[in-house]
Chain A
Amino acid sequence: MALSRALGPRPAAAPGRPRPAAVTRTGRTLAPYGFLAPFFVLFTAFGLYPLLYTAYVSLHRVELQTSQQMDWLGLQNYVRLFQDPYFWNALRNTFTIGVLSTVPQLLMALGLAHLLNYRLRGRTFFRVAMLMPYATSVAAATLVFAQLFGHDYGLINWLLHQAGLDPVDWQANTVASQIGVSTVVTWRWTGYNALIYLAGMQAIPMELYESAAIDGATRLQQFRHVTVPGLRPTIVFTVIVSTIGATQLFGEPLMYEGNSGGGVSHQYQTLGLYMYQQGWTFFHLGRAAAVAWVMFLLIVVLALLNAAVAARRNRTDR
């Protein structure tokens, strides 16, 4: 490997002057590749290659038990996919759960970041506390929330009861169960996004606030006209990343009741979960690959859409 060649001969103990030629030229030329080799060998084998190969798999019949055997199908996996009402159901759910989780998550994060940016006692404590959900896994968080959202003995319905309200069926009801799933996502990621926003806010020059204050802008106006525009690149970044996260949502709906159907009537089955069900519950790896590819195209479209909106807003501002 190049790395060993990069070692080159050790510089001979030439008395007096240093010898730049001690390390051979070839060693110098090849050394960079040696440094890259560990990363790129594994990256190519387990990252890039599978990424590209998915498209090829999606054009074949491949079953889980006999995954070495591939029969050419052309676009048939896709045709079947588009004829399957559960696929459209999953697509719709991915969208609604995505909106239900991403929008409140980012809005709350923005507000919290603004508050964290104040001069506060115990600032570090608040930051660490708010990031704590980030330290839990999807599985753990969802198990806990599934219990909190329990119909008969869940803490949330108990609280509703104390407040004199009727219990909500957080499992079977479509909207309620989607809110339940979204809550897990929101809980885990709000603090993380708040910190990203906070970092962005700290890069906004203080002078802008000062001159806004001199012009008589209230705090709210300062937030609207100084903070939010200054944060635009950060906001675009979090929107894109959260959108990608929402498109792939898998663990939360899987663990919410513990099956790959996404609820008795698939009321919160997402595309990610649908793909897992096709591949590892129904054993159709080829069809699952087609779902993966659709998810990818969806992400590309959403990312481009985000970028276009961001570009347009930038233009109108100027």
Chain B
Amino acid sequence: MALVDSRPAPPVVPSRPATRRARRRRSTLQGGPLAYGVLAAATVLSVLPFYWTLVAASRTNAELSSATPALTPGPNLFHNIAAALQQADIGTALWNSLIVSTTVTAGVVLSSTLAGFAFAKLRFRGRRLLLAVTVGTMMIPPQLGVIPLFMIIVRLGLQDRLPAVILPALVSAFGVFFMRQYLVQALPDELVEAGRVDGASYTRIFASIVLPVARPAMAVLGMLTFMATWNDFFWPIVALSSQNPTVQVALHSLGEGYVPDQSIIMAGTLVGTLPVLLVFVLLGRQIVGGIMQGAVKG
């Protein structure tokens, strides 16, 4: 169960890839100036806080605490970032977050693909029950289990160490369900059957038939998991201290007022957001597609 600060994506229902034709058919309503106006305003509101982070991160504290706020970026960006790296140990935090996010992403994608394949295409005793348990727990908030989880971590002596945030997040019920839904559709039974008839073991079938078919869904799940893990807040705050933080824990200690300088706080925020923002800018189109694909299609 991934203790990840993100809402579960909606149940994936047969994701027939939206064909070009279907898409064209969809949008016959031509957008007028009003539509563009409202969407432009919404875009500005979505992006403005990022811009302001940049402005504040590149100014001095004095400039920020003046009656007329600065509205354009200033010259102090790198100075402030250096200060943030030093004061809140954001350097360690970035490295920790990178380790945690990549490990968790690999774990979730692999374990979800394995289990998703079994649920989608294999027949075995207890299949319905196990799937029901998996799906059922998706709606239960992870915060409910945080206290015993914390006690387990303490007992294992993992408190304040990275495995404390990695281990519980390595598997995700949502991931399993997501892969199952994808494979039910995308992987023809005949393909698995053909492998079986040829005498290939399931492991072999998995490696040479399932993995290639599952790749697009694995990519989507990977991106979403990376972002969610990078941004995860509640569990890292509980399990890690500011001695060995992830980026979110470091930002938390910035916010607690360990660093009184607003421009340095904003520089830290910028540095903590940048990696995932970069992923987003590069892969935004695919992420949008992934989220929309995961939607309930009425």
Residues on A facing B (Cβ under 8 Å): 3, 6-8, 10-11, 18-23, 27-29, 31-36, 38-40, 42-43, 45-51, 53-54, 57, 62, 67-68, 108, 111-112, 115-120, 124, 126-148, 152-153, 155, 158, 187, 189, 191-192, 195-196, 198-200, 202-204, 206, 209, 219, 230-234, 237-238, 240-242, 244-245, 247-248, 250-251, 254-255, 258-259, 272, 275-276, 279-280, 285, 288-289, 292-293, 295-296, 299, 303
B18, B238, B251: residue with the most chain A Cβ atoms closer than 10 Å? B251
Which residues of A sit under 8 angstroms from B279, Cβ to Cβ? Answer: 135
Residues on B facing A (Cβ under 8 Å): 1, 5, 7-8, 10-11, 18, 22-23, 25-31, 35-36, 38-39, 42-43, 45-47, 49-50, 52-53, 56, 64-69, 110-112, 114-115, 117-119, 122-124, 127, 130, 133-134, 137, 139-152, 154-155, 167-168, 170-171, 173, 176, 196-203, 206, 227, 230-234, 237-238, 247-248, 251-252, 254-257, 262, 265-266, 269, 272-273, 276-277, 279-280, 284-285, 287-288, 291-293, 295-298
A206 to B25, Cβ gap below 8 A? yes
A140 to B47, Cβ gap below 8 A? no
Q: How far is A187 from B50 in the complex, measured between Cα atoms in Å?
A: 12
With A133-B46, A153-B64 given, can you name 20 additional A-B contacts, CB distance below 8 Å?
A: A38-B111, A42-B168, A46-B149, A47-B1, A47-B137, A62-B147, A119-B29, A132-B47, A135-B231, A135-B273, A135-B277, A136-B273, A152-B65, A187-B45, A245-B7, A251-B233, A251-B234, A255-B251, A258-B252, A296-B141
Closest to A129 in B: B43
B203 to A3, Cβ gap below 8 A? yes
Q: How far is A148 from B26 in the complex, measured between Cα atoms in Å?
A: 39
Which residues of B sit under 8 angstroms from A8, Cβ to Cβ? Answer: 201
Q: How far is A131 from B277 in the complex, measured between Cα atoms in Å?
A: 11
B141 to A35, Cβ gap below 8 A? no
Closest to B131 in A: A36
Chain B interface SS verdict (over half) = helix
- Pick the residue among B64, B115, B285 that contacts A39 (CB under 8 A): B115
B26, B142, B280: residue with the most chain A Cβ atoms closer than 10 Å? B26
Query: Would you list 29 pairs from A and B whose C-beta atoms are within 8 A, ordered by A residue?
Result: A6-B201, A8-B201, A19-B199, A20-B197, A23-B199, A23-B200, A27-B201, A32-B123, A33-B124, A35-B114, A39-B114, A47-B142, A68-B154, A112-B39, A118-B35, A131-B291, A132-B46, A136-B273, A137-B232, A140-B251, A147-B56, A189-B7, A191-B46, A192-B291, A199-B295, A202-B18, A258-B252, A295-B144, A299-B141
B148 to A53, Cβ gap below 8 A? yes
Known contacts: A51-B140, A67-B154, A124-B288. The answer to whether A137 contacts B272 by CB under 8 A is yes
Q: How far is A251 from B287 in the complex, measured between Cα atoms in Å?
A: 24
A50 to B140, Cβ gap below 8 A? no
Q: How far is A119 from B39 in the complex, measured between Cα atoms in Å?
A: 13
- Pick the residue among B56, B237, B284, B293 that contacts A128 (CB under 8 A): B284
A144 to B143, Cβ gap below 8 A? no
Known contacts: A127-B288, A130-B43. The answer to whether A7 contacts B203 by CB under 8 A is yes
Closest to A21 in B: B199
A42 to B291, Cβ gap below 8 A? no
B297 to A199, Cβ gap below 8 A? yes
Q: Please give the distance in Å from B19's CB to the nearest CB on chain A.
A: 11
Closest to B53 in A: A144
Known contacts: A3-B203, A132-B280, A143-B269. The answer to whether A118 contacts B145 by CB under 8 A is no
Which residues of B sit under 8 angstroms from A40, Cβ to Cβ? Answer: 115, 130
B231 to A137, Cβ gap below 8 A? yes
Closest to B123 in A: A32
Closest to B16 in A: A203
Known contacts: A127-B288, A130-B42. The answer to whether A35 contacts B202 by CB under 8 A is yes
Which residues of A sit under 8 angstroms from B18, Cβ to Cβ? Answer: 202
B11, B35, B147, B199: residue with the most chain A Cβ atoms closer than 10 Å? B147
A50 to B146, Cβ gap below 8 A? yes
Q: How far is A146 from B254 in the complex, measured between Cα atoms in Å?
A: 13
B118 to A35, Cβ gap below 8 A? yes
B7 to A139, Cβ gap below 8 A? no
Q: How far is A33 from B56 in the complex, measured between Cα atoms in Å?
A: 54
Closest to A8 in B: B201
Q: How far is A35 from B293 in the complex, measured between Cα atoms in Å?
A: 25
B31 to A6, Cβ gap below 8 A? no
Nearest 3 Cβ contacts at the A-B interface: A47-B1, A199-B295, A50-B145
Which residues of A sit under 8 angstroms from B233, Cβ to Cβ? Answer: 137-139, 250-251
A119 to B114, Cβ gap below 8 A? no
Q: How far is A26 from B29 in the complex, measured between Cα atoms in Å?
A: 59
A248 to B280, Cβ gap below 8 A? no
Q: How far is A95 from B149 in the complex, measured between Cα atoms in Å?
A: 27
A195 to B298, Cβ gap below 8 A? no
- Pick the residue among B26, B39, B111, B119 that contacts A126 (CB under 8 A): B39
Q: Please give the distance in Å from A213's CB to the nearest CB on chain B.
A: 10
